Amino acid sequence: MKKRGRGAIAQVVSREHNIAVVKWFDNKFVLAASTYVEAHPVQNVMRYKKEEKKKDPVTCPNLIKHYNGNMGGVDLADMLVTLYRTELKGHRWYLVLFSQILDICINNFWLLYRHENSGKQKLLPLKKFRVALFRQLRLFERSSSNLQPVAFSKFVRKVKTPIAKRPDDATRYDLTGHLPTFMTKDRCRNCTKHQTKCFCPKCNA
Q: Which residue(s) pair with 34 in the sheet?
A: 20
pLDDT one-digit tens code per residue, 113-151: 888 887 777 888 999 999 988 888 887 755 445 445 544
What pLDDT does residue 39 have? 85
Contact criterion met (CB below 8 Å) for 57 and 46:
yes
Across the range 24-47, mean pLDDT stands at 87
pLDDT band at 106 (very low <50, low <70, confident <90, very high): very high
| Separation of alpha carbons 121 and 110, rounded Å | 15
26: nearest Cα among 47, 6, 1: 6
Across the range 176-197, mean pLDDT stands at 80
204: nearest Cα among 176, 166, 150: 166
9: nearest Cα among 27, 25, 20: 25
Element (H, E) at 96: helix 94-116
Residue 202 pLDDT > 90: no
The mean predicted confidence, pLDDT, of the chain is 80
Q: Where are the domains of the chain?
A: 9-70, 74-140, 161-199
User: Above pLDDT 70, what percent of the chain?
Assistant: 86
Strands (E), the chain: 9-14, 19-25, 29-34, 43-49, 54-60, 181-187, 195-199
